[in-house]
Structure formats: structure tokens, C-alpha cells
Amino acid sequence: MKRLSAYFCMMAILIIQPLSAQQSSLSSGESRGEPTQSVEIFEFNTLDKQNRAIHLARQLRCPQCQNQNLMESNSPIAKDLRLKVYVMVNEGKTDPQVIDFMTSRFGDMVLYKPKFEPRTYVLWLGPLLLIMVFGWLGYRKVKASIVA
């Protein structure tokens, strides 16, 4: 029991050995309720839903871990959220609905794909801008350097 506390009581601020945070698994025989087990053997109605759910879970960040998505992490909260994603997709919810569910509870940091909004314009448009700048500068340089 006490051993489990080491895995489950993560302090967001404390600097911890990040790897140990990922591999927090329960000692066998310890039942923490249905959800954490059934997420590993969850059955979907269609293969398409399974693929979509897994794809979506990969885009969502485990709120507690040091940079892992819901498919990668075995921490209890990741499993809970993963199961929630599976259940919602299986019920037929759309991707935006699932994403909305997560962000309204855990904030935008749980999305690995940043929303396209004013404060992320630099991020999404930056590369495009860079290509244009380099392209234009390069073109000018090449033309100026031609010595026929």
C-alpha cells in the first residue's frame, strides 16, 4: 500500500526522476477498480473507431507526466483519460467533442496540437514566413552573384 503512494502522489513541483513517473504500474493483484484494467482490453465496435481513438489519444497529453501522451503513459490518470477517450469515441462522439471535454477540465496544455489562435500565430505561421524570407533572400543573392 505504502509503496503505491510513491507512484501516485506526484508533486507537480518537485523535481523527480522522470522515468520513474512513467513506469508507475501497480503490484499485481491490487485492484484499483474496473477502469484501469479494462482500458487495456477495451473492445471497440468498429476498427475505424479503434484507429480514431488511438490516434486521438496520441494527441492528448498526460496532465501529470513529464511529457507523454495518453497512449505512452501507464500512470493512473493517463489510463483513466485514455479509457474516457475510448468510451467517448466508441459512443460516437466527434474528435472536437473529446478534445473539448479534456481541455475544459485540464486546460490547453493537455493538447499536443496547439489551437490556431492569435497567441499561436507565430508558431504555426513562423515556418511559412521563414521559407518565404529565405527564398526571397536566396533569390536576390543568386541573381546578384551571376557572373556570366
Partner 1 sequence: MIPEIALFSLILGTLCVILGAAIPLFGIATKQPHLSRYSWPLSYGAFAAVTTSICLLAYSFTLDDFSVTYIAQHSNSQLPVLFKIAAVWGGHEGSLLFWVFSLSLWSAAIAFINRHHNQAFISRVLIVLSLLTAAFGLFTLLGSNPFARLFPVPMQGRDLHPMLQDVGLIFHPPLLYLGYVGFSGAFAFAVAALTMPDINIPWPQWSRAWTLAAWVMLTGGIALGSWWAYYELGWGGWWFWDPVENASLLPWLTGTALLHSLIASEKRQALINWSLLLSIFTFSLSLLGTFVVRSGILTSVHAFAVDPTRGLVLLVILAICVVVPLTLFMLQSGKIKPLQLRSIASREVLFLMLNSLLVVTTLSVLLGTFYPMIFQVFNLGSISVGAPFFNAIFVPLALLCFVLMCIAPFIHWRKTNFDGLNVKLILVWIAAVIIGSVTSYLFNQTLSVFVLMVLILCAGIVMSALFAGVSIRHLAMTVAHIGVAITAVGILLVSYNSTEVSAKMSPGISVVLGDLSVTYVETEWVVAANFTAEQAVIEVVNASGELVQLKPQKRHYPVRVMNMSEPAIHSTWLRDIYITMGEKIDSNSYAIRIQNRAFINWLWAGSIMMMFGGILAIGQRYVK
Partner 2 sequence: MLNNKFKLILPSLLGLLFVAVMMFALTSQEGQVTPSALVGKPIPAFTASSLSATELVGDNELISNNELLGNSALLDNSIFQTDKNYTLLNVWASWCAVCQSEHGFLMKLAAKDNMRIVGLNYRDDRADANRVLSSLGNPYVTTIFDPDGKIALNIGVIATPETYLLDNKGIVLFRYSGALDETVWQHYFKPFMQLLTDK
Which residues contact partner 1 (rule: CB under 8 A)?
3, 6, 15, 17-20, 22-23, 25-29, 36-37, 40-42, 54, 58-59, 61, 65-69, 71-72, 107-114, 119-120, 122-124, 126-127, 130-131, 134-135, 138, 141-142, 145-148
Residue 126: its H or E element: helix 121-145
Which residues inside 59-88 make contact with partner 2, applying CB under 8 A? 63-64, 76-77, 80-81, 84
Q: Tell me whether residue 1 or residue 128 sits nearer to partner 2 (CB atom).
A: 1
- DSSP β-bridge partners for residue 69: 61
Helix intervals (H) in 9-120: 18-22, 34-38, 47-59, 76-91, 95-106
What are the two backbone dihedrals, phi and then psi, of residue 14, each rounded to the nearest 5 degrees? Answer: -60, 140
Q: Please, what is the Cα angle at 87 between 109 and 115, to 5 degrees?
A: 25
Residues that bind partner 2 (CB under 8 A): 1-2, 4-6, 8-14, 32-35, 63-64, 76-77, 80-81, 84, 103-107, 109
